[in-house]
Structure 1
Amino acid sequence: MQFNSHTSVEKIAQCFKSCGRACKKCIPKLRILPEDEVVEGDSSSADGENVIEEHVRDDKEESAVTSLHEVTDSRAHLDGSLNELKKDMPYELRDEAGRKWYKYFDEYEYRLNKEYKTSRKWYTFLYPNHATQTKAERRLLYKLDIIIAVYFLALNWSKSVDSNNYTSAYVSNMREDLKMKGNDYIYTSTIANVGAIVFQLPFMYLLPRFPAHIILPVMDLGWTWFTFACYRAKSLAELRAYRFILSAFGAAYYPVSQYILGCWYAPDEISSRVCLFFCGQLLGGVTSGLLQARIFKSLNGVHGLAGWRWMFLIDAIAISLPTVIIGFFVIPGIPSKCYSLFLTDEEIRIARARNRRNQINDGVDKSKLRPLWDLKLWKKVFCTSSFWVLVVFDTCSWNNMTAFSGSYTLWLKSNSSYSIEQVNNLSVLPACLGFAYVFFCAWGADLFRCKWIFMVFAAIMNTISCAILIKWNVSSSAKWYAFLTTYFSVAASPCLWSYINDFLRLDPQVKAITWIAIYSFSQSTYAWIPTLAWQTVEAPKFRTGYITSIIFGSIYGLWTFVVLFFYKRNEKKNALGNGIILYDSSKGEEIPTFVKTDMEEKAGYFYVKN
């Protein structure tokens, strides 16, 4: 048989080209829909009007809208807002006369109109279809839960395993091997927190400008590498250096993940999805203890490595590295700048329609972003009452978390009747119960459309737990009850973050800066308050720590009502965008003129005339 080298080379070349095309299809690219191209070429086209609504107005228009919102209660505002009305959206005409005092506690009174509230059955609260009333919207939510919510669960699980490994390793002979003493445990944690705080700040610039499917995996790769490096730490100083850099690479995943979730989910859907994110954190607490117990038993001393070193090795290679690879392919970006390989064009259109219906502005073109040094931008962030209200809220949330203090594990360690393996196994019990607490609060918030009541309930439960542990000299069963309910200090976090997302939904750039600012400030207090409150030398009683937690927990529960007040005030200003036309006949106000002249009534709701 004659060998034709030329033909063989051509076949090989064709094979490489086919593989290249296949690989190219698997690389996430910006999804540009036909109507997006029309808008770029002809901004006056009718098809482009809906897409233009997704972009931020220029400074002049923005200032006009801002001043418009400041006079929401006046007829002039309503009559001048015709251009803000959305076609095909049902508007509720609401007379504020005779409004009852207890409506203050109706969280979504001005956020959702009557049609929106009644358009779902109670049992479909996880998968409603408000915007399009089609199965396609529900199918979109199924997909989003798989490619976003479940991925962030896995990502947070990976991060939580890494973080909890430090505590597990500490009680598994790392303390002795690295000659840690006194408050070295809490000081090392503080140093790591400083790394996360400092390196969050650049994301004020990066977050609205660069796609998350690039940002998160790159940062996650750095986290993975330095988790791996922890196994070779020969001294406390070396371990602290690795933990500092590791936390610096982990600075992005909390604010970026919440930023993305807030761009895809409606206000009465998001708590349930943030719940999955926090379940990843709890799952990390569970698996870390169990894995460390198993590894310590099976691998301690194998190839001359201590059991706690094996944990860092396995964690980096088998847990963290896969999330790096998966993240690049599954993170979809945001609806207006989608990079998803799994969503269809129709589903991207539905996601955009949902955002228009829910008054969520998810993205801004780079050319319309203000420079980071623009004073107007910073005034818009810091010169608002909402920012400072949320800072206090998040700071109290961070510092009332007895669940992550390590006190329970150190209490077990102080009991000589428990072996190292038993300590690691028993350490997972509060986190296991934490799943139930988090689901109860987050799903209850979406089911009943009421976050505040679950936040107050969680604060009360956490206060009771801390009060028992402050007394300390109580029965064994009371002490176990207190430790096993410490995760109520975490349970309300999905509701808290849902509030923040909804407060910030109108301006993507302000949202990015505010998220980072709130999170950095809150976490910075968590870098030094635990150092004073949870000093390792006070183990296992930690009286100062529990007193600190009960103070912040009590403020957290009471501050919820302050947040509710500002939330409702903001939503009343934006009621028209939420599909609610307000007037008050008791003050002599009449139905706005544009309702009579430019809208028509259908089935009790008003629609813009075609």
Structure 2
Amino acid sequence: MASNGKENLEITVVGIADGEAQALAEEQSRSKSKLQRFISIFWSKSDADAETRKFLRRIDLFMFSYILLSLWIKFLDSANISNAYVSGMKEDLGLYGNQLSLFSTFYYIGMAIGNIPFLFLIDRVRPSIFMPTFEILWGIIAMSSAAVRNENDLYGLRFLLGIFEGCGFPLFATVAASWYTPFELGKRMALMEATNNIAQMFSGYFQAAVYSGLNGVHGIAGWRWLFIIDGCVSVAIASLGYYALPDLPHNTRARYLNEYQRAFAIERMARVGRKPPVELTLKRYFGLFKTWEVYFFVPLAIISSGTTPTSFILWLKSLGIYTVEEVNVIPTGAYAVAVVSNFVVGCISDKTLIRLPFVAGSIACTLFETIVLAVWNVPFGLKYFAFFGSYIGAFKWTGFQVYAQDYLQYSHEMRALITSLYNAFGCIFSAFLPTLIFPSGQAPHYKYGYKVAAGINAALIIWVGVLGWQCNRMALRDGRVRNEYGLAVQRDSIEKLGESGEWKDETVVSVKTVEEKV
């Protein structure tokens, strides 16, 4: 009996242990599920299968990480000129006129020119070859900026820097849109754009550290050291691109993707409806300019030009109450606001597949800032808030880029052209508009700048509505239907996709007429 009692006790103890282990496993499973759902809010769909998640992790680790690093150093090259200007360059080179605005003008002219060869290069030379090569060249030019003797030297170097950096964002945007679906692209494009703000934020800390730690070392001024270090980092990052950039799904040779994953990438884009590229001849290139898309999408390039005043750092310096280090560091808080708001709105946009309303709302944030600064004689705190608050609307540029990739998925060449023209005209506007309405000699209180910018922002909100109306109208005219991603495609492309077997049920039941609003 005693033996049976002991055995029963052991069985009971074992049973309790097994039950606790099972309960613990279920709790861990629930916790993991909650964690996955939480992560999916910000990064991937919660119902994505294991193969998709594995594929995305690999693409994110190599391609997307390299894109972010490249854009970060590209924008850092651009942002450092302002930090160098307020950290001794102005006094060393005797820049007491409108030179700072002209530095930007020459840079953006070079950027506009650099966008031109992009469309022809992407079809003839692998992005994994020419993009890292261009990066090495702009790194060398950035380092050369440390040796300038006067403003004329810097004008030429800024122009060359713009040429080699010009194709950077259009290429990366086109490549990214060829690998990610609409549920994945918005947040990633938001991070790509956020590298601009991160670069400006980092540049402030970077210049403050360089100025305090290297100023005068080997007889070299701190602002010159900034260009030297910046160029060295550019070359180092460029070397990663030869391996990390996978080209496009149909011609990738990426060694970190196996044959199944390459086929899987092509399959994903076919399911979205994104067409692969075709050879772009001069005849086909000029034929694209006869389409309505160019004349409705490109005007929004003004978003990336002079509609958001960047005079915060100049206003801080004009107050005369902050040190050089503080003038460089304080604006980083505004850049942090832009990074967070851009990413959060990008996540929401991916979840809802709504783009243009968020673009209009973001422009409205900038409109508020420009109105406050146009009045100017407002409480100190409100002016501070206006400078910070404008960065809440950072998604306007990202949202438009993603919407263009979504709507124009029926033509790889049209997507690339709109991205290229958008950046080119944005550079042209950025080259001349800020110089005209925000002359550095009037900083930080411009006579007409904020008023003009407020009017442009108001007009842009109206144009966003016009663009959405035109896109829906043309989709209706062409008899398109919406696929499972909410993209307007030809019905026969969905029917053809359904005939392949695996996707038939999912695509057919998700077809919606284009009359339904996005």
TM-score normalised by the shorter chain: which range applies?
0.7 to 0.9
Distance 2:322 2:462 in 1: 39
Query: Do structure 1's residue 446 and structure 2's residue 350 form an aligned pair?
Result: yes
Q: 1:603 to 1:303 in 2, by over 3 A?
A: closer
Q: 1:490 to 1:577 in 2, by over 3 A?
A: closer
Structure 2 residue ranges without an equivalent (≥5): 1-35, 487-494, 511-518
- Per the TM alignment, residue 524 of structure 1 is displaced from its structure 2 partner at its CA by 1.2
Q: 1:278 to 1:513 in 2, by over 3 A?
A: closer
Query: Do structure 1's residue 214 and structure 2's residue 129 form an aligned pair?
Result: yes
The count of aligned residue pairs is 461
Q: 1:188 to 1:210 in 2, by over 3 A?
A: same
Distance 2:255 2:230 in 1: 28
Query: Do structure 1's residue 378 and structure 2's residue 279 form an aligned pair?
Result: no
- Per the TM alignment, residue 342 of structure 1 is displaced from its structure 2 partner at its CA by 1.2
- Per the TM alignment, residue 503 of structure 1 is displaced from its structure 2 partner at its CA by 3.2
Q: Which residue in the other structure is 1:30 paired with?
A: none
Q: Are the aligned partners of 1:230 and 1:242 in contact in 2 as well (CA < 8 Å)?
A: yes
Q: Specify which of 330, 351, 356 is matched with residue 270 of structure 2.
A: 356
Query: Do structure 1's residue 127 and structure 2's residue 127 form an aligned pair?
Result: no
Give the alignment of 1:254-273 within 5 angstroms.
Answer: 254-273=169-188
Query: Do structure 1's residue 335 and structure 2's residue 278 form an aligned pair?
Result: no
Q: Secondary structure at the match of 2:166?
A: coil
Residues 411-463 of structure 1 show CA distances to partners (whole Å, capped at 9, x for unaligned) of 01111111111111113121111112211321121122211222122122111
Runs of 4+ deviating beyond 4 Å: 120-123, 598-607
Q: Are the aligned partners of 1:149 and 1:274 in contact in 2 as well (CA < 8 Å)?
A: no
Q: 1:294 to 1:438 in 2, by over 3 A?
A: same
- Per the TM alignment, residue 370 of structure 1 is displaced from its structure 2 partner at its CA by 4.4
- Per the TM alignment, residue 570 of structure 1 is displaced from its structure 2 partner at its CA by 4.6
Q: Are the aligned partners of 1:362 and 1:505 in contact in 2 as well (CA < 8 Å)?
A: no
Distance 2:223 2:83 in 1: 8
Query: Do structure 1's residue 420 and structure 2's residue 337 form an aligned pair?
Result: no
Residues 485-540 of structure 1 show CA distances to partners (whole Å, capped at 9, x for unaligned) of 12235322211111121233222234333432332123212211111011011111
Amino acid at match of 1:493: W
Distance 1:248 1:205 in 2: 15
Q: 1:187 to 1:370 in 2, by over 3 A?
A: closer
Residues 185-232 of structure 1 show CA distances to partners (whole Å, capped at 9, x for unaligned) of 101210111111112212221122221111210110111000000011
Q: Specify which of 503, 511, 523 is matched with residue 427 of structure 2.
A: 523
Q: Are the aligned partners of 1:147 and 1:330 in contact in 2 as well (CA < 8 Å)?
A: yes
Q: Which residue in the other structure is 1:392 paired with?
A: 299
Amino acid at match of 2:58: K
Distance 2:421 2:506 in 1: 45
Query: Do structure 1's residue 575 and structure 2's residue 517 form an aligned pair?
Result: no
Distance 2:349 2:40 in 1: 14
- Per the TM alignment, residue 599 of structure 1 is displaced from its structure 2 partner at its CA by 12
Give the alignment of 1:119-518 within 5 angstroms.
Answer: 124=40, 126-128=43-45, 134-317=49-232, 319-364=233-278, 369-372=279-282, 374=283, 376-379=284-287, 381-402=288-309, 405=310, 407-518=311-422
TM-score by structure 2 length? 0.83
Q: 1:351 to 1:371 in 2, by over 3 A?
A: same
Q: Specify which of 537, 546, 551 is matched with residue 450 of structure 2.
A: 546
Distance 2:387 2:191 in 1: 23
Distance 1:438 1:222 in 2: 30
Q: 1:599 to 1:194 in 2, by over 3 A?
A: closer
Q: Which residue in the other structure is 2:28 paired with?
A: none
Query: Do structure 1's residue 535 and structure 2's residue 446 form an aligned pair?
Result: no
Q: For structure 1, which segment, 518-527 or 189-198, has the greater mean C-alpha deviation from structure 2 after superposition?
A: 518-527
- Per the TM alignment, residue 400 of structure 1 is displaced from its structure 2 partner at its CA by 1.6
Q: Are the aligned partners of 1:136 and 1:347 in contact in 2 as well (CA < 8 Å)?
A: no
Distance 2:461 2:285 in 1: 31
Residues 547-589 of structure 1 show CA distances to partners (whole Å, capped at 9, x for unaligned) of 22212222222222222223334544363583699xxxxxxxx
Residues 108-156 of structure 1 show CA distances to partners (whole Å, capped at 9, x for unaligned) of xxxxxxxxxxxx98973632388xx631112112222222222221111
Q: Secondary structure at the match of 1:208?
A: helix
Q: 1:199 to 1:341 in 2, by over 3 A?
A: same
- Per the TM alignment, residue 377 of structure 1 is displaced from its structure 2 partner at its CA by 4.0
Amino acid at match of 1:462: T
Q: Secondary structure at the match of 2:480?
A: coil
Q: Are the aligned partners of 1:377 and 1:510 in contact in 2 as well (CA < 8 Å)?
A: no
Distance 2:230 2:367 in 1: 34
Distance 1:360 1:252 in 2: 22
TM-score by structure 1 length? 0.71
Distance 1:458 1:545 in 2: 20
Q: Are the aligned partners of 2:274 and 2:412 in contact in 1 as well (CA < 8 Å)?
A: no
Q: Are the aligned partners of 2:134 and 2:164 in contact in 1 as well (CA < 8 Å)?
A: yes
Distance 1:531 1:350 in 2: 48
Q: 1:263 to 1:563 in 2, by over 3 A?
A: same
Amino acid at match of 1:347: Q
Higher helix share: 2
Distance 1:400 1:604 in 2: 41
Distance 1:442 1:604 in 2: 25
Q: Are the aligned partners of 1:268 and 1:446 in contact in 2 as well (CA < 8 Å)?
A: yes
Q: 1:477 to 1:579 in 2, by over 3 A?
A: closer
Q: Which residue in the other structure is 1:92 paired with?
A: none
Q: Are the aligned partners of 1:397 and 1:552 in contact in 2 as well (CA < 8 Å)?
A: no
Amino acid at match of 1:124: S
Distance 1:234 1:284 in 2: 26
- Per the TM alignment, residue 313 of structure 1 is displaced from its structure 2 partner at its CA by 0.8
Amino acid at match of 1:398: S
- Per the TM alignment, residue 288 of structure 1 is displaced from its structure 2 partner at its CA by 0.4
Q: Which residue in the other structure is 1:556 paired with?
A: 460
Structure 1 residue ranges without an equivalent (≥5): 1-119, 582-593
Q: 1:121 to 1:386 in 2, by over 3 A?
A: farther
Distance 2:371 2:472 in 1: 33
